[in-house]
A and B are shown apart, each in its own frame.
Chain A
Amino acid sequence: MPTDLFRRRLIKGFACIGAGAAVLPCCLSHASYAAGTGAKFALKEVADGVYAFGGVNELMTDANQGAICNVGLVVGDEAAAAVDSGGSMVEARAFLAAIKEVTDKPVRYLVNTHMHPDHIFGNAAFRDIGATIVGHRNLPRALAARGDFYLQSYHRQIGDALMQGIEIVPPTQTVDDRLELDLGGRKLELRAWKAAHTDNDLTAYDPATRTFFAGDLVFMGHLPTLDGSLLGWMRQLDELAAIDAAVTVPGHGPVPSAWPQALEDERRYFEVLAGDLRKAIADGVPLDKAVQTAGLGERGNWALFDDYNGRNATAAYAELEWE
């Protein structure tokens, strides 16, 4: 019995690691950002010294330069911290150029709110300017398990040109529970969460302006995507709501949004999805059938529903089956 086929290509694969790290030259400047989208990468001041860019509610494509999530910036007396690096090097360079227009302070930190490509594909641009990349303690492990897959699958989705220069760059500093970043006269409070949207969700809170960078723990308009634990996410909603914020910069959705009202839509979606799935599981409906109808009552309330609801339902079914 050739049992080695159960893990056969592992060994062959090891020989090729070097080639996988090949760095491609990049000929695109941030100017091409505007050419691709017809819109300038604009940082909006959402509070004193706090800025954000609002991504579009779309899948990552060549046309939108991968700029689908919200990214942010907090500026202190001595340094600045960026929150997420964007979905491509093109976006990241446009982000860095926009930062230069609002502050001459160095970007000392890049905070990665979690592992997803739209939030981390620009990491190399921040590494290259010497920023310390900070992430949840589980982020290095999550990227190690997924990085190569992301590079392959997004190559197909966004194409050669936009993939140029993108590397999986893990954080060099990790957060177990809480961490304060000192920006000079201003502290940014980081908090690591239990598995929810992913198992490496990290948020950033600016007490000076009570602005809460929620990462993808908060989706508005754009259907939430589930890549961690539905039950974990639902369980932590109250804890999230208790954060003393005036406004939030959600991972996806309007910048800024009122807090904690920003949580209402996703809470309702999770309850509908979980309710439908619990019933299907109790009735013995198998996964492939159950995911075709679960959550459909929410279809009219969200962008990208058809792109993500089936996947959310699949992951949630496998989790709820163990209840």
Chain B
Amino acid sequence: MKSQALTNRRWFSPISYSLAIAAVAFALLGGSTDIAGAQQTMASSDKIWASFKGDVFGERQIISDTGLVRIEAPKRAQDAALVPVDIYIDPAKAPDGVKAVTLIIDVNPAPLAATFTLGKDAGVTHISTRVRVNDYSWLRAIAETGSGQLHMTQTFVKASGGCSAPAVKNTDEAMASMGKMKLRQFPEPAMSQVQELQLMIRHPNNSGFQRDPITQYFIPAHFVQKLSISQDDKLILAMEGGISISEDPNFRFDFKANGPGEIKVEATDTDGKVFQDQWPLEAAGL
């Protein structure tokens, strides 16, 4: 136990303050088998969530697993830097609509991955993105209904660890093409008003955990913090995000098209840079 405690000191590093808590709790409880470890990590993740839940939602009641919101992610992340996550909303269970969905990754240095604001009557029922997951963690989606109820669902992800680190793979390329955007439009069944879009933004979305090798000062975090996607001037989806969103932020979502108007995107990063683009809607189902 003594050597365990000593090595756990390593966990007190800039990237992993919260992990340290989880590790110490794990060591104290003496979990050793893989199964016990996983269970203990779920409990540790819950504990971390309990410690900051109030900062995000105050004293508001959160209802679990009502089926109004659903989250899917791989049980074991292939690449800790790029973990696909899908959030689904069941409109039948939300008669007064859904205003916002918050995505939480308990153990990450920045647990609040993103808050999505859904355009009124935009008909968004599915949002897919990619996140960094630093360790074994619950991923939580919390939907806020039109009447202000909070519905939560969660799924447990084991970050793959090993040499797949939640860091930018090709930093020079990410910087060189920063701000470039791409919009893909996927055909939906004929006669459907529903459109599926995928927005991609080139950005390193870096963590700020890096030290400048020369000065030894930390390079400030640099990420896309605000994003809005509209048709004409009507909001479809907005996002406020942080460093838990993977490099080259990527969002695939559906919505109900409102006529043939253009899709407009505006993104702002932490340096105050604004990236804008627009595309005509391919009238597949109209």
Contacts and interface: CB of A to CB of B under 8 A. Distances in A.
B280 interface: no
Contact of B14 (A17, A117, A199, A227): A17
A302 B225 CA distance: 42
Contact of A141 (B81, B164, B213, B221): B213
Contacts of A287: 82, 84, 130
B243 A7 contact: yes
Interface stretch (A40-48, A123-131, A150-158, A263-271): A150-158
B36 to A, nearest CB: 14
Interface residues on A, range: 35 or more
B25 interface: no
Interface string A264-302: 000000000000000000001011100100000000000
Given A288-B86, A321-B200, A14 B14 contact: yes
A116 to B, nearest CB: 5
Contacts of B192: none
B228 interface: no
A116 B182 CA distance: 32
Contact of B163 (A22, A116, A160, A163): A116
Contact of B221 (A10, A22, A154): A10
- Give the residue among B78, B112, B244 with the most A Cβ atoms within 10 A: B78
B7 A160 contact: yes
Contacts, number: 201
Interface stretch (B139-147, B202-210, B256-264): B202-210
Interface string B6-44: 110111111111111000000000000000000000000
Contacts of B66: none
B162 A157 contact: yes
Interface stretch (A95-103, A252-260, A312-320): A312-320
Contacts of A288: 74, 84, 86
A160 B4 contact: yes
Given A7-B243, A8-B52, A146 B110 contact: no
Contacts of A142: 167
A2 B38 CA distance: 30
Contact of A117 (B74, B159, B163): B163
Interface in B200-233: 200, 202, 206-211, 213, 218, 221, 223, 225
A230 B37 CA distance: 35
A146 B13 contact: no
B248 interface: yes
A152 B16 CA distance: 9
- Give the residue among A145, A156, A199, A232 with the most B Cβ atoms within 10 A: A145
Contacts of A148: 13-16, 209
A146 to B, nearest CB: 4
A228 interface: yes
Interface string A216-242: 000000000101110010000000000
Given A6-B242, A145-B168, A199-B170, A310 B78 contact: yes
A223 to B, nearest CB: 13
Given A6-B225, A311-B164, A13 B134 contact: no
A144 interface: yes
B240 A20 contact: no
B135 interface: yes
Contact of B56 (A2, A19, A60): A2
A315 B169 contact: yes
Interface in B225-254: 225, 240-244, 246, 248, 250, 252
A55 interface: no
B61 interface: no
Given A149-B166, A199-B169, A318 B17 contact: no
A146 B7 CA distance: 18
Contacts of A170: 213
Given A7-B242, A163-B7, A149 B17 contact: no
Interface in B60-100: 74, 78-82, 84, 86
A5 B165 contact: no
Contacts of B268: none
Interface string B48-61: 00001001100000
Contacts of A228: 169-170
B109 A16 contact: no
A59 interface: yes
A151 to B, nearest CB: 5
Given A8-B112, A138-B171, A22 B9 contact: yes
6 contacts: A145-B206, A149-B134, A160-B3, A311-B164, A314-B78, A321-B250
Given A17-B14, A145-B210, A151-B13, 8 more contacts: A1-B115, A1-B240, A20-B13, A20-B14, A145-B165, A152-B15, A157-B161, A322-B182
